[in-house]
Structure 1
Amino acid sequence: MAKRLTPKRINAIRPDDRTRTYGDGRGGNGLTLAVQPNGVRYWYQRLRFEGRDINVGLGGFPAVSLAAARRAAVENRAKALAGINPQGQQRPKQRPIRRADARRQRIADGTATLADCIDAVILEHVEDGDWKNAAKTEQQWRASLRHVEPLTRREVAGIDATEITAELRALAAKHPTTAAAVLSRLGEAGDYAVDESLRPDNPFRSRAVRRRLKAVRRGKGGHHAAMPYAEVADAIQRARAVEHMAPVKALAFELIVLTACRTREVYGARWSEIGGDVWTIPASRMKAKAEHRVPLSPQALDVLRRARELHPDSELVFPSPRTRTELANGTSDEIAVKAAIKPYTMHGFRTSFRTWAMERTDADHAIMELSLAHKVGGSVERAYARSDMLAKRRELMESWGAYLFRDVARR
């Protein structure tokens, strides 16, 4: 993957016998630096406009800095999305009406398609600067929405909950995370349709759609498929033994099981959050938006020790081997397939822990629920009982770790 340009990298480039080009990497909006044999350097941007590739000149370097060129690239991309030629050329009057003009006309006539609403929402995000990396985020949106391409061609006014569920059912069963992202993006398009008076309601945010897709994702009973707790120890050993999977992913899986935390909480774990044998997850990364302290069993501490040995200089406990950023959502599916965990889900291991605690220990109901970061009692009761019962939760988590590794010597 091409690296992003930096001032240091640009200054290190030396001209040779022919013109060389250096792209600004993935997500760089097509920004490119050209270096001629005579040493002249200039910026240009390659864009797709109305079905054809165009090159837009942005000026010479260093008169136009890297930062200025990037800002211009973002603006040009927004223009292209809006149907405006970034090259500033006047279109011949006999040319067909631009796509953006046609979209605006359909919206005005009340005949807009779902695709029209999606294009309008993407344009708003780009123009308002909502996305840190506009090109990459737009690409992710459009790639995910190809799963429902037949639906996007329909007039948005005529789409109902039954159609939405039918389009997303197969995707939700196979790739639930992608299906959730698609539904969220369609929800924004639906909001736009309501705002433009194209329809009175937003079917993509209806309870009926969410309920039906949740049942598909979790199975007939409406719950995440959970592995019987007696089989969890073997699953850990299978994950350890997978040959064609980065060790850091197997370690992340072990910590998910040992702490009964959610996958995103583990994938986003940072060393700055670990203090001795307590892991403090900030409210910003918790589902309930409240700080959560996790007691670390000896087995969990061993996982952290091995993770530190793998990536001693990383801020993240489990960095992606390729990007050094947080592990992607697809990691859970990869682990589940390679470690033969399917049809059970990663989230289901929280249920495995909860069932074990209920059947094999004398732990209080509140201790089990607090270990899962669930709220216990009503708002008044919680106001008076503010302890998170860390010591008692530690006893439970240490028992869980000992149970999982009762017959296995640690590596």
Structure 2
Amino acid sequence: MLSHGFCVHSRSPKIVESHANFTPKVMAGRTADRLLTAEIMPSHARNKLSDRQVKSEKKPGLYGDGGGLYLRIRPSGRSWIFIGTLKPKGQLKIKNTGKGDRIELGLGSAVDVGLAKARQRAAEIREMLLEGIDPRVERLKSKEQAKPVDDKPAVTFGAFAMELLDSIEDGFRNPKHRAQWRSTLKGHAKPLFEVPIAEVTTEQIVAVLEPIWLTKRETASRLRGRIERVLDAARVKGLREGDNPARGRGHLELLLPKSTKAVRHHPALPYKQVAAFIASLRQRAGMAARALEFTILTAARSGETRGMTWAEVNLEEKLWTVPASRMKAGAMHAVPLSDRAMAILNDLKNDDIKPHQFVFPAQRSGSLSDMTLSAVLKRMKHSDITVHGFRSTFRDWAGEETSFEREVIEMALAHTVASSVERAYRRGRALEKRRDLMTQWADYCFQEREAVKNSESLELAS
């Protein structure tokens, strides 16, 4: 009889009755041999809540609608519960003695279950209680009856997620994303792993996201997106029905707190200190130091430099072409090389180099790791800035010290610009303008006068 999958709670929170006071109301059993009868706690008053109150009320607590139905508001969201008391067998008329088995039955998320539906579910529970039926027992019976005839175990979220990842990870452009997908789901969505994928709810997802929503916002956002993709795939496979409880817009964004912190940008070195920094960096030997210098001179992302192969370099045309498969935006990116950037490549080039080999190889084999360049900064006592932050350093310098158009600067950073503007620049002198921009940037980075002027402030900042 319990068709809506009510869940039973063992604890009884303190009731905050903010809309109306209530007095105990005892409902008598009709026959002496009735197994159970019910004491419904609120008074005769019913339907005390409105749809507007349900959606707008924010203060945590329990808000009574009457007849045992309550709206429960928590920081993680709002849900419906029914509160009542089961009385023992053999009482013709029940007195409000406070004795009995107090129960709470979850009726679903207030986001998914409207006020009218919640009242209907509460009425069904009252009907069962008056008939001497324990809703908790009925729920267990319903779950048993709902089991497949062949009694196959339900597909869990964890099993399906890992199976899905096995099938899609070959399409990831960045191998690091494969490990990130697994570690994010296993590390933060572990409570969902044993839940049948057909039964994953909004409240369960909120419970997973809430602990890291404000402290690790980027990780939480990625986690939400990955859970959403897993559940979307499950629906396509016929393992789920209905809306995706992990969807953000118009759903989870209404339940999770808004960040009060400003967006954190990658800490960057002020551009007026970059010449002194480069002068210090050039005193350091090693492949990681040269890779960092090259990254700064080209305003590239760390991964683009670390994954660079000799096949991507045209030494005669002084051009580095990064294939679309290695670019964040998924589009090929041509980087004009300044004389200093070319000098770094010429120092590394030899007759034994093969096209597929990395320009900046690791000491043993393969490419440099993503932490290698950061380690150079730490050894230089600059753990307060990031490798990626040098792209901001370049942008600040170009915007304040040059007269290049914004679109030229953005294209140098491989940022997407309006397609019509980009086409116009491609027809014109976009590459030549960017080559001039990168040459001026290299000249600025190697200003001896600027290096001397700022060396003292750089050391103080260290």
Question: Do both proteins adopt the same fold according to a TM-score greater than 0.5, normalized to the shorter chain?
Answer: yes
Q: How does 1:10-409 map to 2 (within 5 A)?
A: 105-107=153-155, 116-126=156-166, 128=167, 131=170, 142-148=182-188, 151-152=191-192, 155=195, 156-157=200-201, 158-161=203-206, 163-164=208-209, 166-167=211-212, 170=215, 185-192=226-233, 194-195=235-236, 196-197=239-240, 200-201=243-244, 203=246, 220-237=262-279, 239=281, 247-276=286-315, 277-308=318-349, 312=353, 315-324=357-366, 326-376=367-417, 378-386=418-426, 387=428, 389-407=430-448
Structure 1's unaligned 5+ residue stretches are 1-102, 108-115
Aligned residues with identical type, % of pairs? 29
Provide closer, same or farther for how the CA distance between residues 232 and 139 of structure 1 changes in structure 2, counting only shifts above 3 A. Answer: closer
Change (3 A) 1:337 1:203: farther
Structure 2 CA distance for aligned equivalents of residues 348 and 208 of structure 1:
34
Taking structure 1 as reference, are residues 125 and 357 closer, same or farther at Cα in structure 2, changes over 3 Å only? closer
> 3-state DSSP class of the match of 1:203?
coil
AA matched with 1:221: V
* Cα separation, 1, equivalents of 2:368 and 2:221: 18
Inter-partner Cα distance in structure 2 for 1:186 and 1:341: 37
How many residues align? The count is 284
TM norm structure 1: 0.55
Shift of 1:207: 9.2
State the 1:300 CA deviation.
0.9
Structure 2: runs of 5+ lacking an equivalent: 1-150, 453-462
Cα shift at 1:275? 1.1
2: CA distance, partners of 1:312 / 1:402: 29
Greater relative contact order (CA < 8 Å, ≥ 6 in sequence): 2
Deviation digits for residues 359-384 of structure 1, max 9, x if unmatched? Answer: 112223332222222344x4344444
Moved more, 264-273 or 141-150: 141-150
Q: Which amino acid aligns with 2:209?
A: I
More helix by share: 1
SS across alignment from 2:211: helix
RMSD (CA atoms)? 4.3
8 Å CA contact 2:288, 2:376 repeated in 1: yes
Instruction: Specify the code of the residue in structure 1 equivalent to 2:384.
Output: P
Distance in 2 (alpha carbons) for counterparts of 1:129 and 1:354: 36
Secondary structure of the residue that 1:231 maps to in structure 2?
A: helix
List, as ranges, runs of 4+ consecutive aligned residues in structure 1 with deviation greater than 6 Å. Answer: 136-140, 178-181, 207-210
Question: 8 Å contact 1:370–1:388 — kept in the other structure?
Answer: no
Evaluate the alpha carbon distance shift between residue 143 and residue 391 of structure 1 in structure 2; reply closer, same or farther with a 3 A threshold.
Answer: closer
Aligned counterparts of 2:192 and 2:363: Cα–Cα separation in 1: 36
TM, length-normalised to structure 2: 0.50
1:239-276 Cα shifts (integer Å, max 9, x gaps): 55668xxx222222111111111222212211111112
Larger radius of gyration: 2
Q: Report if aligned partners of 2:373, 2:387 keep a CA contact under 8 Å in 1.
A: yes
Instruction: Work out whether residues 161 and 204 of structure 1, in 8 Å CA contact, stay in contact via their aligned partners in 2.
Output: no
- 1:147 CA drift (Å): 3.1
